């Protein structure tokens, strides 16, 4: 997500933060580079100009604090303006209306409307315990209605029965009536799209809007749309009146221009982003967290929330007890690899850690990608319980048997055993230290495989920073997630909400 933009802005702002003082010429040169980076990221030109003007105005007249270097203050100003451009605060899909709440999905053909409809329905069902009915109004695309029906079966969500030769307006009216009679909380209408914006499409959208009276009209747009995203969003908003935007394919190496442009041009909030093909790959959009990612500050809060949802608390507690007494066998390693896969793999985790986004390329060049997890799990699965509990008994003949069973080589097994020994040694060393365990393990492994980099000091945060983070997260599950990662309460405030905070963290 925003990888191209993150690389460009990261290198530009690194040059600023590394200097003890800045002249007006330095700021001008840096902002020129920022402007080029935004244009290359397909952000609309008018929006780029407005953004740069606001940053320059604040940077030139900024009152510097004694404990903050000028370069760090410029980074903070860029961060704050990015947050402002992206929407300033998180706005979710509004369900505050008499049931059934009607949500109308609009957009061009190929933008992912049908899949997004099912993702939204699944999220509302699982996260908010809503009873949802999905209905396909797409009579133009072959098998569009059948596609939604199959997605309904896959997710266990009700879909409106298909009746041949009904018009989209008739289907919309029938869906709303069925939702009312069936006691549904939400009815989601998946409308038809075209390969381009045309008059018949807009007339059909307006007719459906009049008939169904939707509470939310969500525009689904491909994040790879580029600068044309502004024209797309403005056209739908002018004719239909959208209430929010959902961006798809955010997991691709997109340049991010669509997200920055559409929100700034229409004033409509981005309410969700799709980050993958799976039905659970839909996230709420948090402007401050996205700005953190763009500037390479990571997103610890999202990582902790994701951990709280995916990690089995009982298993984590059991593992923590074993680690405290210095025990860590191959069963424990396999459990940790499975948990990392659930969190999205090594690249996803590193992308959310502050100051470590650049390690992605180093991992890839070192041949350490997420496929390694599958290979290592296959090796462990081919071992006996005795071998997993006591790896020291693995001699040549046993390794040959395991290699044949797992489709790997003895060299792969030796690499796995070496990694396990390193982790087991670290567990023995830091087993009694508590809080910073996960940080030290990740940092230690990174240095041992030649990747460099280190985790920031998460235990030196002041009370104001901790308080700011607590206000930002507003999640009762944050404490559990923090505990699972061994971070305790010592999580840094990466959003820079408070301009008076001393010593903003910088990259090493």
C-alpha to C-alpha distance for 413 and 423, rounded to whole angstroms:
15
Query: In the 8-state DSSP scheme, what is residue 183?
Result: T
Are residues 316 and 300 in contact, defined by beta-carbon separation less than 8 angstroms?
no
Beta-strand pair 216-222/101-106: parallel
Per-residue pLDDT, 33:
83
| Most confident of the following: 59-63, 170-174, 358-362, 430-434 | 170-174
Q: How many CB atoms lie within 10 A of CB 61?
A: 7
Q: How confident is the model over 346-372, as a mean pLDDT?
A: 59
Query: In the 8-state DSSP scheme, what is residue 298?
Result: -
Q: What percent of the chain has pLDDT over 70?
A: 65
Beta-carbon contacts of 251 under 8 Å, excluding residues fewer than 6 positions away, are: 1, 274, 275, 276, 281
pLDDT in tens, 318-327: 777 776 676 7
Q: How confident is the model over 73-99, as a mean pLDDT?
A: 83
Are residues 249 and 223 in contact, defined by beta-carbon separation less than 8 angstroms?
yes
Q: How many CB atoms lie within 10 A of CB 490?
A: 18
| Most confident of the following: 95-104, 263-272, 479-488 | 95-104
C-alpha to C-alpha distance for 149 and 185, rounded to whole angstroms:
19
Of 51, 44, 36, 48, the closest CA to residue 4 belongs to 36
In the structure, what pLDDT confidence band is assigned to residue 275 with cuts at 50, 70 and 90? confident
Per-residue pLDDT, 447:
41
- Read off the tokens for 3: 């990888």
C-alpha to C-alpha distance for 219 and 346, rounded to whole angstroms:
32
**More confident: 298 or 139:** 139
Are residues 293 and 299 in contact, defined by beta-carbon separation less than 8 angstroms?
yes
Q: How many CB atoms lie within 10 A of CB 390?
A: 12
pLDDT in tens, 40-74: 877 888 888 888 888 888 776 555 544 456 667 77
Per-residue pLDDT, 466:
42
Are residues 52 and 230 in contact, defined by beta-carbon separation less than 8 angstroms?
no
C-alpha to C-alpha distance for 394 and 416, rounded to whole angstroms:
12
Of 164, 176, 16, the closest CA to residue 102 belongs to 176
Ramachandran quadrant class, 231 (left: phi over 0; alpha: psi -120 to 50; beta: rest): alpha
In the predicted model, what is the mean pLDDT of the chain? 74
pLDDT in tens, 397-453: 899 999 999 888 888 899 888 888 888 887 777 654 443 444 444 444 444 333 333
Exposure b/e, 394-403, CB count within 10 A at least 16 = b: beeeebeebb
> Of 48-62, 108-122, 199-213, 273-287, where does mean pLDDT reach its minimum?
48-62
Can the peptide bond before residue 222 be classed as cis, meaning omega within 30 degrees of 0? no
- Read off the tokens for 33: 């580079």
> Of 15-19, 143-147, 411-415, 488-492, where does mean pLDDT reach its minimum?
488-492
Cα dihedral 305, 310, 314, 320 in deg (nearest 10): -70
Q: Is 321 helix (H, G, I), strand (E, B) or coil?
A: helix
Query: In the 8-state DSSP scheme, what is residue 353?
Result: S
| Sign of the CA dihedral with 274 first, then 275, 279, and 285 last | negative
Alpha helices in 87-143, H assignment, sequence order: 113-128
Question: DSSP readout, 398-460?
Answer: HHHHHHHHHT--HHHHHHHHHHHHHHHHHHHHHTTT-TTHHHHHHHHHHHHTT-------TT-
Q: Taking 70 as the threshold, does the pLDDT of residue 77 lie above it?
A: yes
Q: Taking 50 as the threshold, does the pLDDT of residue 495 lie above it?
A: no
Kindly report each contact of residues 409-412 with a partner whose C-beta sits within 8 Å and lies 24 or more positions away, as own/partner: 412/375, 412/379
Please compute, for residue 37, the number of CA atoms within 13 A of its CA located in the half-sphere on the CB side.
23
Beta bridge mates, 188: 103, 134
C-alpha to C-alpha distance for 134 and 124, rounded to whole angstroms:
12
Give the pTM.
Answer: 0.63
Angle at CA 222, nearest 5°, toward 217 and 224? Answer: 150
C-alpha to C-alpha distance for 279 and 283, rounded to whole angstroms:
11
Per-residue CA distances from 186 to 123, 152, 213, 246, 319 (Å): 12, 14, 13, 18, 41
**More confident: 273 or 26:** 273
Beta-carbon contacts of 278 under 8 Å, excluding residues fewer than 6 positions away, are: none
Q: What percent of the chain has pLDDT over 90?
A: 21
Q: How confident is the model over 330-353, as a mean pLDDT?
A: 71
Residue entry with tokens 């090594």: 346
C-alpha to C-alpha distance for 382 and 403, rounded to whole angstroms:
8
Q: How many CB atoms lie within 10 A of CB 103?
A: 27
C-alpha to C-alpha distance for 301 and 305, rounded to whole angstroms:
6
Q: How confident is the model over 106-113, as a mean pLDDT?
A: 89
């Amino acid at each position: 997500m925003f990888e191209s933009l993150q690389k460009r802005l990261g290198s530009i702002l690194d040059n600023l933060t590394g200097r003890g003082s800045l002249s007006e010429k330095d700021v001008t040169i840096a902002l020129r580079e920022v402007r080029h980076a935004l244009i290359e990221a397909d952000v609309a030109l008018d929006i780029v100009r407005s953004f740069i003007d606001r940053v320059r105005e604040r940077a030139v007249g900024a009152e510097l604090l004694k404990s903050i270097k000028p370069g760090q203050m410029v980074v903070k100003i860029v961060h704050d303006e990015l947050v402002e451009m992206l929407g300033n605060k998180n706005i979710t899909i509004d369900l505050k209306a008499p049931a059934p709440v009607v949500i109308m999905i609009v957009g061009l053909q190929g933008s992912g409307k049908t899949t997004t409809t099912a993702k939204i329905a699944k999220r509302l069902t699982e996260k908010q315990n809503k009873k949802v009915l999905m209905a396909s109004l797409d009579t133009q695309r072959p098998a569009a209605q059948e596609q939604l029906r199959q997605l309904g079966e896959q997710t266990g969500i009700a879909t409106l029965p298909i009746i041949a030769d009904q018009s989209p307006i008739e289907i919309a009216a029938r869906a709303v009536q069925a939702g009312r009679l069936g006691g549904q909380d939400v009815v989601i209408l998946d409308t038809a799209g075209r390969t381009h914006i045309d008059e018949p499409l807009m007339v059909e959208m307006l007719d459906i809007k009049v008939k169904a009276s939707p509470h939310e009209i969500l525009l689904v747009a491909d994040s790879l749309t580029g600068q044309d995203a502004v024209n797309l969003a403005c056209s739908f908003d002018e004719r239909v009146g959208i209430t929010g935007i959902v961006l798809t394919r955010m997991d691709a190496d997109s340049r991010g221009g669509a997200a920055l442009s559409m929100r700034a041009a229409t004033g409509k909030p981005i309410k969700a982003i799709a980050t993958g093909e799976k039905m659970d790959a839909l996230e709420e959009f948090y402007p401050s967290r996205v700005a953190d990612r763009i500037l390479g500050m990571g997103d610890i809060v999202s990582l902790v929330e994701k951990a709280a949802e995916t990690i089995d608390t009982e298993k984590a507690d059991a593992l923590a007890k074993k680690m405290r007494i210095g025990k860590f066998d191959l069963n424990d390693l396999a459990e940790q690899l499975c948990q990392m896969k659930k969190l999205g793999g090594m690249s996803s985790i590193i992308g959310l850690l502050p100051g470590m986004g650049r390690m992605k390329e180093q991992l890839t060049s070192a041949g350490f990608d997420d496929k390694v997890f599958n290979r290592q799990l296959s090796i462990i699965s081919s071992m006996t319980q005795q071998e997993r509990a006591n790896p020291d008994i693995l001699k040549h003949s046993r390794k040959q048997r395991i290699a044949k069973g797992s489709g790997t080589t003895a060299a792969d097994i030796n690499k796995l055993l070496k990694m396990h020994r390193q982790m087991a040694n670290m567990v023995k060393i830091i087993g009694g230290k508590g809080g910073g365990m996960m940080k030290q393990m990740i940092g230690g492994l990174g240095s041992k495989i030649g990747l460099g980099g280190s985790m920031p000091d998460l235990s030196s945060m002041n009370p104001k920073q901790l308080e700011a983070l607590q206000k930002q997260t507003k999640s009762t599950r944050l404490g559990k997630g923090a505990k699972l990662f061994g971070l305790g309460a010592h999580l840094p405030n990466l959003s820079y909400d408070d301009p008076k905070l001393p010593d903003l963290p910088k990259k090493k």
